[in-house]
Amino acid sequence: MPKEFSVTAKDAFTSIRYRITPSKESKAKVKDAGKIRYKEIPKYARPVNQRSREETLELQQQAQEDVSNLSLLARLTMERTQLEILHRIKEYRVLFDPVINRLYPLFQKLNEDDRNEDLGLPVKVPGEVRERLWSWWNALNDLYYDFEERGHSLTNKEWRILKGALKSIGKISLSNLNDRLLDICSELEALDLNYS
C-alpha cells in the first residue's frame, strides 16, 4: 500500500518497481491540487448620498414636472390627431350628403322594380344588377350612418378611396331617371366601388 505522498513506478526494461517519495518542494506544488478556488471579489463601498434633503426633494419635484409635461404633450398630440379626424369627418360629410340625396330616388325606383318582380310585372333593371347595387347601397348607407364612429378607424388609404368613390358617383348624371334607369345602373355597377 503506497504511503501518502509516495508514488510507485515501474521500470520499463527491468520491470522492477520503485517507490518515489516527492520532495518537500514538489509536495508544496501539488498540495492545493483539486481544491475549489474562491476568487476574491473586491468590495466597493456604497456611494454615500451627499445631497441634502432639500436637494433630493427638489430633484424629485423636477422629475415629477418632467413626467407631467411629457404626459401633457402626449395628450395634446392625441387631441390634435382626434381633432384632425373630426375635421376630416366634417369635410367628408359635405361630400357624403349630396351623394346620398342624389342616389335616394334611384334606389326608390329599384325598390319599385323589386316589387314589380315579386308581382310578376316587367322590370327595367335585371335582377343580378339590382342585387349588386343593393348590396353596394347597403354598405354605403351603413358607412353613412356610422360615419362618426367608423371615421376614427379609417386609414389614410381608405379615406382616399372613399373620396374617389364619392367623386366618381357624383360625376354620373342622374337626369332622366325614368328613361335612363338601366344605363345609370350599369354606370354605377361599372364603377366597382368598395369602401367597406
Asked if residue 169 lies in contact with residue 193, where contact means CB atoms within 8 angstroms, the answer is: yes
The CA-to-CA distance between both ends of the chain, in Å, stands at: 95
pTM over 0.75: no
What pLDDT score does 115 carry? 86
Q: Determine the angle formed by the axes of helices 156-170 and 53-119, rounding to 10 degrees.
A: 30
Q: What residues have CB less than 8 Å from 141, skipping those under 6 apart? A: 100
| Among the listed residues 146, 156, 87, the one whose alpha carbon sits nearest the alpha carbon of residue 79 | 87
Determine which of 33-37, 70-74, 91-95, 154-158 has the lowest per-residue pLDDT on average.
Answer: 33-37
Asked if residue 110 lies in contact with residue 125, where contact means CB atoms within 8 angstroms, the answer is: yes
Provide the 10 A C-beta neighbour count for residue 106. 19
Cα separation, 127 vs 108, whole angstroms:
15
Per the prediction, the chain carries an average pLDDT of 84
Cα separation, 72 vs 61, whole angstroms:
16
Domains of the chain, residue spans: 94-191
Q: What is the largest CA-CA distance in the chain?
A: 128
Between the alpha carbon of residue 163 and those of residues 76, 92, 187, the distances in Å are 28, 8, 18
Asked if residue 137 lies in contact with residue 109, where contact means CB atoms within 8 angstroms, the answer is: no
Percent above pLDDT 90 for the chain: 4
